[in-house]
Structure 1
Amino acid sequence: MLTLTQVKNKSAQRLTGLHPVVRSAATALIERCYKLNISILITQGLRTIAEQDALYAQGRTKPGAIVTNARGGYSYHNFGLAVDFALLLPNGSSVSWDMCRDGNNNQIADWQEVVKEAKGLGFEWGGDWTSFKDYPHFQMAFGLTLTQLRAGTKPSTSAVESAYKVINRKEEEELKSDVIAVVKVNGVKVADGVLEKGITYVPVRVIAEALGAQVGYDSATRTVEIISSH
């Protein structure tokens, strides 16, 4: 199985040129999906106008199937505000667009789990569109139309700040819900501890004093000393 670093490195090049918020959200999406035992690959990020026009020509004036209805300048990809993804298979080199695949065997399609995480991070999903559905597509419009973007309008500071809050809130909620453990001494709660990889972390002074001991700290040697009164 690939490590998280290896999975992230496979998408790193395609995150270049994205709006910083979109890049942060895409990175968080990779990380969150990995925690669900789902590896994803960002297959497309920033797409130039020329690249968009070439893609639009596919299935029209060039061989291949039609994959987009957007000409150059008519896709959020052209402004660094969108990404496409695929499921990264266990061999680490192949990808899948199978929306029914359940690679982590939890009776929920991996694709839908990725979509749920993406929406929680503030992405709009192309699969929700009513006309041309783009199932691998996520975007952040920041309230701007493509007409505004073509005219040079940039996401406002307030819109960017709001987007970051959504991303950070997901991480904060995860910390609160997953790693807090109540610590009791003789049946009395004395602190909230942090549970990580089976180990509960709690301030030593709180526990020591609850047991009737005194705590000292030697800054020179960086030593914590617990003196029992018993």
Structure 2
Amino acid sequence: MLTLEQLKKKSDKRLIGLDPVFKLVLDKLIERCYARGVWVLITQGLRTYAEQDALYAQGRTKPGQVITKARGGYSNHNFGFAVDFALLLRDGRTVSWDTLRDDDKDSLPDWSEVVEEAKKLGLEWGGDWRTFKDMPHLQMVFGLSTADFRAGKSPTQAQLNTVLAKINLLKMEDEPMTAEEKAAFKALQNTVQKQADRIKTLETTAKQPKVPAWAEQACINAKAVGALDTANDGSFDFYRMVTMLDRAGVFKRGVVAQ
């Protein structure tokens, strides 16, 4: 029986060079799947253009089956925002791509459990693609294309912060609270709900076309904990109140239940 740390070590080499936030998401994926009795192994991570071209040649100019439609520079693997995964069997050595396997005997295929947890973390699954389905593929590209990455673009800090907030909220859910913590959490929920109601009353018809720069982070924090569904078309007073609440610590991660 492998410990969680032993399992994580088996994926360490394939996580080298990945975007740091994306790497944290994958670390959380391995943890959450392990808690469900499913062992996830990262089998592919960052690839160079040359490595990508070699894979592209397979089934075309080299023997083997076609396994990718992307040349070097046209795969998210080339920019540190994509991985491939497999299941590690209970012997701790055998790797499986069997999508119907159910080693933990809960009637749900282990592969499906991995995909379920991946989507909770905001990962995109290649099995959902309409053409050239890539079942072992997971990625997080923040709306950017490979052309964007080739041009040197990267996710915004606001996008990265949103992902980090989601990871922290899931961490809070995974860790059991004491009776005192539950009581304090409930009190904070009530406070936030009252403040959320107050925010709604401050909305007026004098809506601004976009969120002011000085209120952007506060709105991101509020949305991350579920206090806001959208920050669009708010009034000056609305954004001022959200900013004040954020500075007061109301939107700290874990304060609002999802």
| Aligned equivalent of 1:159 | 159
Query: Following the alignment from structure 2 to structure 1, what is the Cα–Cα distance between the partners of residues 143 and 36?
Result: 30
Deviation at 1:163, TM superposition (A): 1.5
| Aligned equivalent of 1:75 | 75
| Aligned equivalent of 2:140 | 140
What are the residue-to-residue correspondences of 1:67-146 with 2, within 5 Å?
67-146=67-146
CA contact (8 A) 1:122 1:167 kept: no
Check if 1:13 corresponds to 2:19.
no
Q: CA RMSD in A?
A: 1.4
Q: TM-score, normalised by structure 2?
A: 0.68
Give the residue type in structure 2 aligned to 1:118. Answer: A
Query: Following the alignment from structure 2 to structure 1, what is the Cα–Cα distance between the partners of residues 90 and 41?
Result: 12
Give the residue type in structure 1 aligned to 2:65. Answer: A
Unaligned runs of 5+ in 1: 183-190, 195-230
Give the residue type in structure 2 aligned to 1:161. Answer: N
| Aligned equivalent of 2:40 | 40
Unaligned runs of 5+ in 2: 184-258
Give the residue type in structure 2 aligned to 1:77. Answer: H
Deviation at 1:52, TM superposition (A): 0.5
| Aligned equivalent of 1:25 | 25
| Aligned equivalent of 2:203 | none
| Aligned equivalent of 2:172 | 172
SS at match of 1:86: strand
Query: Following the alignment from structure 2 to structure 1, what is the Cα–Cα distance between the partners of residues 41 and 69?
Result: 23
SS at match of 2:11: helix
**Could you say which structure has the higher helix fraction?**
2
Query: Following the alignment from structure 1 to structure 2, what is the Cα–Cα distance between the partners of residues 155 and 74?
Result: 17
Give the residue type in structure 2 aligned to 1:83. Answer: V
Q: 1:161 to 1:181 in 2, by over 3 A?
A: closer
Deviation at 1:154, TM superposition (A): 1.4
CA contact (8 A) 1:120 1:170 kept: no
Query: Following the alignment from structure 2 to structure 1, what is the Cα–Cα distance between the partners of residues 12 and 103?
Result: 23
SS at match of 1:38: coil
Query: Following the alignment from structure 2 to structure 1, what is the Cα–Cα distance between the partners of residues 36 and 57?
Result: 37
Query: Following the alignment from structure 2 to structure 1, what is the Cα–Cα distance between the partners of residues 178 and 182?
Result: 5
| Aligned equivalent of 1:220 | none
SS at match of 1:180: coil
Q: TM-score, normalised by structure 1?
A: 0.76
Query: Following the alignment from structure 2 to structure 1, what is the Cα–Cα distance between the partners of residues 72 and 152?
Result: 15
| Aligned equivalent of 1:58 | 58
Deviates more, 1:150-159 or 1:92-101: 150-159
